[in-house]
Chain A
Amino acid sequence: MRHGKLTPAALRKYGFITSFLAVPVLLYVVFVVWQYIQAFQISFTNSRGISPKFDYVGFDNFTQLFQDDVFWAAVRHHVVLLLAMPLITIAIALFFSFLLNLGGGQRNGRMVGVPGSAFYKIVFFFPQVLAVAIVGVLFQAILRPDKAGVFNSALGAVGIDPVGWLIAPGLALWTIIGVMVWQAVGFYVVLFSAGMATIPKDVFEAASLDGAGRFTLFFKITIPLLWDTLQVGWVYLGIAAFDGFALVQVLSVDRGGPDNATTVLPLEIWRNAFTYSKYGVASAMGVALFFMTLTFAVLTLRVTRRERIEF
């Protein structure tokens, strides 16, 4: 970097670096960073989004937010979503991938899954290839609260009363998390299975010879060796949690109800921007969400830190 050291080799190197970074950085700055900077700017204005004119109002939008019950409900639900959805998905996916890859015990000197593993791996992945919009519409019929709902009539067949999946305020958010988990599990089963396949066989053989049972294999060997894969999954699920709002919008009562029981931050941003035309407030919420997610990401990466991935 220092002057006087620009040898032809160094020039070539910097030329190369520049040529490789130019397009991605340009795309990213134009379509992402620049837009976000504008959004930050808008959060300090009273912009209604439907007119080029606006005034700067300082932190008014933020003070308004912090006094708003709906905002705090949305924040709470978003935190629940951000923690529960990845946790549940990963827990179920780990359990299944363990069964499907190692659950069958040893055969011919290597670990195998339970019978039918290949079939399960294919089937579990199905929901992931369906777009979120499709999943939403599909579950609308499945989760209908009356007797004619698909789940409820199945329950009715064994004598259980209809469940208000999406109308019971205490249950609705969990139902939506359930749908997200339903969609995501298959992918992580396949991903973790892939991870398990890379664990050297002799590790398991050695453990088995030492008399380790399946639970030891799972907790003491599989999980630590899968740590990196788990981390990727966690981050990706954290991002996917943003998309939860599409499901909330399609599935919940009155978009976020009943009584704000399912509303999440992205939905409130949407509502402020497109229903109330309060772009300034919507952007302020976005900024709040940005710092929330950033905190979450930094914490996650610190907690699960590995030497290679730095932040």
Chain B
Amino acid sequence: MATDVMPVAPNKAVTSPRPGRRSINVFSGLSHVALVIWAILVIFPIVWTFLASFKTNTELFGDHPLAMPQNFDWSSWGRAWDKAHIGLYMINTVKVVAISTFLTMLFGSMAAYVLARYTFFGNRAIYLLFVSGLSFPVFLALAPLWLTMKNLGLLGTHTGLVLVYVAYSLPFTVFFLTAFFRTLPTSVGEAAMMDGCSHTRTFFQIMLPMAKPGLISITIFNVIGQWNQYLLPIVLLPGDAQDKWLITQGIANISTNAGYEADWAGLFAALSMAIIPVLIVYIIFQRQIQSGLTSGAVK
């Protein structure tokens, strides 16, 4: 719907001074319709999934998949909770993502700061090395990576996964933080150095706080990216480390199981259990996320 409106060129008629009330109203009307439709597109599948967890297979595969469930039977939730270990996987995921995002930001900003503000031999080579990582598909490295992890004794551990997450998040993080650090005024850092601040103190006490807006934005990108990871955990936390699994693995597992047991309600219950807590957390923190991005507005 957006594309219908977008191509309208800013021609004279539209941009004439004081556009008539009517055109404003038509425009607002259309734009409201677009917003409402998109909101429905977003909310509806999620609500439907929730309701589907109470339906029987007959209801799900019947002629009225949009109807309300006949009765709210929570047994599918019990089954899914027992089988899918949603709680455990959720905690694992939060743990891994929290630690690895923190480390990504710490190491990423350290590297980016040095690369952005200091001239030294090899600077550009290291920068390009990081940036070229943006264009390589992660899973091409899966087999060698698996072997490396095994040799380091990190396979099937959260420590290993965190290190890998950090390493694979660095290209994006370094790329944008380098750009961000370059935009910060040089005078402040120089003044600090004059006052006898060490390089390290200058970074942590002066530059990092100044870069906070940019850091927040990139942090949010990294949290979302790592939360979504699917491939790395599957390979690096294999089936024999099931108590270490992450939420995406749990869901994929139930989904495959649904292919063999036809427990659709259980599948939707598990999905709902994975969705609802995240939504609640998001709604609680949405203001912070929005303002974080606002003050950071990645430059």
Tell me the A residues contacting B by CB distance below 8 Å: 1, 12-14, 16-17, 19-21, 23-25, 27-28, 30-36, 38-39, 42, 49, 88, 91-92, 95-96, 99-100, 103, 105, 114, 116, 119-134, 136-142, 147-150, 153-154, 157, 182, 185-187, 190-191, 193-195, 197-198, 211-216, 218-220, 228-229, 232, 235-236, 239, 242-243, 246, 250, 265-266, 269-270, 273, 279, 282-283, 286, 289-290, 293-294, 296-297, 308-309, 311
Among all A-B residue pairs, the 7 with the closest Cβ atoms: A286-B140, A35-B141, A293-B135, A211-B17, A31-B167, A16-B199, A194-B293
Q: Does B108 contact A (CB under 8 A)?
A: yes
Judged by DSSP, the binding face of B is: helix
How far is B16's CA from A64's CA once the two chains are assembled, in angstroms?
A: 60
Residues of the A chain whose Cβ atoms lie less than 8 Å from the Cβ of B274 = 130-131, 134
Judged by DSSP, the binding face of A is: helix
Q: How far is the CB of B14 from chain A (nearest CB, A)?
A: 5
The answer to whether B43 and A123 touch across the interface, beta carbons within 8 angstroms, is: yes
**Contact flags B142-161 to A (C-beta < 8 A → 1, else 0):** 11110010000000000000
The answer to whether B2 and A131 touch across the interface, beta carbons within 8 angstroms, is: no
Closest to B282 in A: A129
User: Known contacts A28-B170, A148-B63: does B143 contact A273 (CB below 8 Å)?
Assistant: yes
Q: Does B81 contact A (CB under 8 A)?
A: no
Residues of the A chain whose Cβ atoms lie less than 8 Å from the Cβ of B16 = 211, 213
The answer to whether A150 and B15 touch across the interface, beta carbons within 8 angstroms, is: no
Residues of the B chain whose Cβ atoms lie less than 8 Å from the Cβ of A125 = 282, 286, 289
The answer to whether B251 and A133 touch across the interface, beta carbons within 8 angstroms, is: yes
Residues of the A chain whose Cβ atoms lie less than 8 Å from the Cβ of B297 = 191, 194-195, 197-198, 229
- Further 11 A-B residue pairs, CB within 8 A, beyond A24-B107, A28-B170, A289-B140: A28-B167, A91-B3, A92-B2, A121-B290, A125-B289, A131-B228, A131-B248, A132-B248, A213-B16, A229-B299, A308-B183
Closest to A189 in B: B38
Residues of the A chain whose Cβ atoms lie less than 8 Å from the Cβ of B34 = 95-96, 99
How far is B130's CA from A286's CA once the two chains are assembled, in angstroms?
A: 18
Q: Does B65 contact A (CB under 8 A)?
A: yes
Residues of chain B in range 172-204 having any CB-CB distance to chain A below 8 Å: 172, 174-176, 179, 182-183, 198-200, 203
User: Known contacts A20-B114, A148-B60, A308-B179: does B163 contact A27 (CB below 8 Å)?
Assistant: yes
User: Known contacts A24-B174, A266-B137: does B221 contact A236 (CB below 8 Å)?
Assistant: yes
Residues of the A chain whose Cβ atoms lie less than 8 Å from the Cβ of B299 = 228-229, 308
